[in-house]
Amino acid sequence: MAAAIAAVLIVGVMDARADGAPQPKTQAAIVRDAVDQFVLPRIDTFKMRTHELASAVPGACKPDAQPAALAAAQSAFVETVRAWAPLDFVRFGPSARNHRLERVLFWPDPRATAERQLSALLAARKPELLEPGALATQSVAVQGLTALEVLLFSEKQPLGRGDDEAARYRCGMADAIAAALDTVAGEIQSGWMGDDGYRAKILNPGPDNRLYRDTSESAREIAKALVVGFDLVRDRIALPELHAVSRDPPRRARLPFERSRATGVFVVATVDALKDLYGICAFATRVGPDKTWMTNFLTAGWDGLATESRRLDEVRAGEIASKDHLHVVRKLRFDITSIRQIVVRELAANAGIILGFNELDGD
């Protein structure tokens, strides 16, 4: 009889939720779905893109290479940027070890450190640095996308043009950097796998787990990544651009991937990924019954981020500090800040996830 009653109750609960409305997720479900539906598929995509990049770069330097070969390498670079954007704010696990985040993307770089250090390496022309794995002993500034962009998108010294020693070394360095990126991507990918991999650790918290003692700690890691993503868009994109165009006279901010004209690609891919992770965590279902206004506010905020991030390249290419330019940047800042505050103060808290600090605050 008790079993029958329990079955009826379970069916009743399921029927009550059969209206199709999204339901709140447990902390364990948030972690599982974020890892399996968000993190791991994007790591696989990033590894695929770095492999394609490492395969395309040498083609631009063949003796009989046509301009299309360099264009293919440049396209592979942009696609690698697009693939990295959703992972740049996942600052835990294998990505956060051995300086892998910086080895993929050295940014901010206000003093063009990557370009200066790369120039020094190119001038020295040490052949041993072109050997597999050798770049890992050098500064992180010359190992990743920031340095490779300099080589692939140089107008003064196009990659593959010229047959002198300097041109050959530039090609060798581009090959080495692309290969180093593919190696790091492989390390990140493999670090999540296996019985002792990071997936097993974050999905199985407990007293014997050195990283996560309970589910609240692993759920906090996921929510923290979302908040870090908001902060990166605000601090790397919206605020520098707003400060620059608000000066008298207005100036142009230095944003990531301008040389490759992939700034918009990076920003859009980041914003889209943040919305995906927000949806996977089902944070929208955590709006309190006394604050239903948040639902429309959050929908408008996400729509605004999607729209304005896609306009960023266009307004930056036009008149500096124009009305449209200022609107896009101010709206980006407003929507990012607003959604961030609601997630931290309301939605994550309502899910039992307490976010006192985030990684960019030094936690």
> Could you tell me if 291 and 159 lie in one domain?
no
- Per-residue DSSP letter, 159: T
> Could you tell me if 169 and 64 lie in one domain?
yes
The verdict on residue 13 lying in a domain is no
Coil, strand, or helix at residue 18?
coil
The verdict on residue 8 lying in a domain is no
The pLDDT, as a whole number, for residue 59 is 94
> Could you tell me if 197 and 270 lie in one domain?
no
- Among residues 203, 236, 262, the one where a domain terminates is 203
Amino acid letter, residue 243: H
- Write out the chain's pLDDT in tens, 363 residues: 444 434 433 333 333 344 566 789 999 999 999 999 999 999 999 999 999 999 999 999 988 888 899 999 999 999 999 999 999 999 999 999 999 999 999 999 999 999 999 999 999 999 999 999 999 999 999 999 999 999 999 989 889 877 789 999 999 999 999 999 999 999 999 999 999 999 999 999 999 999 999 999 999 999 999 999 999 999 999 999 999 999 999 998 999 999 999 999 999 999 999 999 999 999 999 999 999 999 999 999 999 999 999 999 999 999 999 999 999 999 999 999 999 999 999 999 999 999 875 444 533
> Could you tell me if 349 and 256 lie in one domain?
yes
Amino acid letter, residue 1: M
Sign (positive or negative) of CA dihedral 337, 339, 343, 345: positive
- Among residues 176, 203, 230, the one where a domain terminates is 203
Q: How far apart are the first and last CA of the chain?
A: 53
The pLDDT, as a whole number, for residue 174 is 97
The verdict on residue 19 lying in a domain is no
| Range(s) of the domain holding residue 95 | 33-203
The verdict on residue 24 lying in a domain is no
> Could you tell me if 293 and 148 lie in one domain?
no
Whether the model clears a pTM of 0.85, i.e. scores above it, the answer is yes
Q: What crossing angle do the helices spanning 40-56 and 67-84 adopt, rounded to 10°? A: 160
Q: Cβ distance 122 to 173 under 8 Å?
A: yes
> Could you tell me if 37 and 148 lie in one domain?
yes
The pLDDT, as a whole number, for residue 357 is 53
Q: Cβ distance 324 to 317 under 8 Å?
A: no
Instruction: Give the CATH number for residue 131.
Output: 1.20.1420.20
> Could you tell me if 45 and 170 lie in one domain?
yes
> Could you tell me if 37 and 144 lie in one domain?
yes
Q: Strand (E) positions, 22-157?
A: none
The pLDDT, as a whole number, for residue 8 is 39
> Could you tell me if 169 and 310 lie in one domain?
no
> Could you tell me if 340 and 252 lie in one domain?
yes
The verdict on residue 170 lying in a domain is yes
The verdict on residue 227 lying in a domain is yes
The verdict on residue 152 lying in a domain is yes
Domains contained in the chain, number:
2
- Among residues 203, 224, 259, the one where a domain terminates is 203
The verdict on residue 253 lying in a domain is yes
> Could you tell me if 173 and 219 lie in one domain?
no
> Could you tell me if 245 and 136 lie in one domain?
no
The pLDDT, as a whole number, for residue 206 is 97
